[in-house]
């Protein structure tokens, strides 16, 4: 299946570069472009892409506001947002995850990392590194500024012990391969547990599942410096 990508960046040269790169892949195609956040939301509604490659700093509506609008739209439930920006600050990462982004990359990433990132979020997984992003989630998403919880704490009781276990490991930034090795399970079984946990908790993707794990107290933030 071809991954349909929408490009949202105020720099036409970058959009052109990304279009050439993505369209050169047999499993991807660019279906639209946007120069600001408002255009990105309108284009997402028009094209229903699988992935929106979203810049943060754009004129008018910025990328974070556009991401929130896309992720809140029930008609775009199948669209994932991958943030790609020069401003890879802790607060931007945290805000991007809070509003529903499925991944966050700096514009310095390699070509292969960018294409793999698009494939990762298109597959319903989050682009979360084991170390830095876990620290960001611990630091920011459990603070009062994080906004209302994405799921009531009571819904944790709907998870089986294994689903809770797998969710906890995912919240620590571990990949499906690592979780499978640690629990002596197949990768397919891990994916099934993750998917069931997402469904029960109402998480649109793995990133939201991780946020819910921290907000609900299923996973506790690590002390600063660890």
DSSP 33-46: EESSHHHHHHHHHH
Predicted pLDDT of residue 146: 52
Predicted pLDDT of residue 95: 79
State the Cα–Cα distance between residues 101 and 177, nearest whole angstrom: 23
Report the sign of the C-alpha dihedral through residues 34, 102, 180, 136, in that order: positive
Predicted pLDDT of residue 106: 77
CATH class of the structural domain 149-215: mainly alpha
What b/e readout covers 20-38, taking b as 16+ CB neighbours within 10 angstroms?
Answer: eebeeeeebebbbbbbbbb
Predicted pLDDT of residue 226: 43
Predicted pLDDT of residue 224: 46
Global pTM?
Answer: 0.69
Predicted pLDDT of residue 76: 95
State the Cα–Cα distance between residues 24 and 21, nearest whole angstrom: 5
Predicted pLDDT of residue 187: 87
Enumerate residues 6+ apart whose C-beta is below 8 A from 118.
3, 5, 22, 28, 51, 53, 82
Predicted pLDDT of residue 130: 45
Q: CATH assignment of 3-127, given 2.40.10.10, 3.40.50.300, 3.40.50.2300, 3.40.50.1000?
A: 3.40.50.2300
Predicted pLDDT of residue 167: 93
Residues of the chain with pLDDT under 50: 129-132, 224-226
Nearest to 103 by CA among 210, 190, 12: 210
List the chain domain ranges: 3-127, 149-215
């Amino acid at each position: 299946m071809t991954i349909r990508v929408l490009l949202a960046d105020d720099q036409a040269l970058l959009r052109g570069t990304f279009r050439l790169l993505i369209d050169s892949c047999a499993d991807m195609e660019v279906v639209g472009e946007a120069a600001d956040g408002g255009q990105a939301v309108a284009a997402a509604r028009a094209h229903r892409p699988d992935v929106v490659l979203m810049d943060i700093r754009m004129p008018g509506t910025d990328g974070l506001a556009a991401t929130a609008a896309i992720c809140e739209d029930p008609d775009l439930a199948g669209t994932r947002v991958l943030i790609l920006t020069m401003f890879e600050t802790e607060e931007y990462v945290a805000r991007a995850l809070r509003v529903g982004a499925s991944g966050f990359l700096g514009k310095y990433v390699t070509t292969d990392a960018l294409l793999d990132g698009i494939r990762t979020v298109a597959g319903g997984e989050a682009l979360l590194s084991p170390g830095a992003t876990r620290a960001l989630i611990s630091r920011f998403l459990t603070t009062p500024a994080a906004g209302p919880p994405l799921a009531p704490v009571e819904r944790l009781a709907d998870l089986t012990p294994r689903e809770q276990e797998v969710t906890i490991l995912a919240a620590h930034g571990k990949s499906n391969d690592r979780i499978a090795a640690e629990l002596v399970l197949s990768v397919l079984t891990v994916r099934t547990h993750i998917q069931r946990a997402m469904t029960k908790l109402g998480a649109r993707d793995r990133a939201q599942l991780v946020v819910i794990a921290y907000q609900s107290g299923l996973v506790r933030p690590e002390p600063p410096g660890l």
